[in-house]
Amino acid sequence: MARRLDLITAVCTTSFGKGTSILGNAVIRSDAGLVAFFTFLKDMELPTHSHGTQWGTVVEGEIEFTIGGETKTYCAGDSYTIPAGVEHGASIKAGTRVIDVFEEADRYAVID
């Protein structure tokens, strides 16, 4: 397990949450999209927004997502899909870890 976490923390980070104590992240980007490993260090309210398609899996913790007007709680092992252009927001508990895949390779600015 520690070896896998070393790999994840050795990759780039994004500007999302940079300089805050709310979020830790690492990303892998290609021309085809962006994979983000997010760790929420504190409770976080994610305002309603939209972008290209997003797929995600909760690794640990809990997220209450409102996607296209429907609210559902996702826990460890649950996956979600957010279609392109659909408004969504979330209430995320401290300690939550997710893996998100974005169809937009430039969804977040990458910091080496």
26-62 pLDDT tens trace: 777 788 888 888 899 899 999 999 999 999 999 999 9
* Euclidean distance between CA atoms 54 and 27, whole angstroms: 14
Domain containing 84 — which CATH number? Answer: 2.60.120.10
- Report the number of distinct structural domains present in the chain: 1
Of 5-14, 19-28, 42-51, the poorest mean pLDDT is in: 5-14
Average pLDDT, the chain: 81
Domain containing 36: what range?
2-111
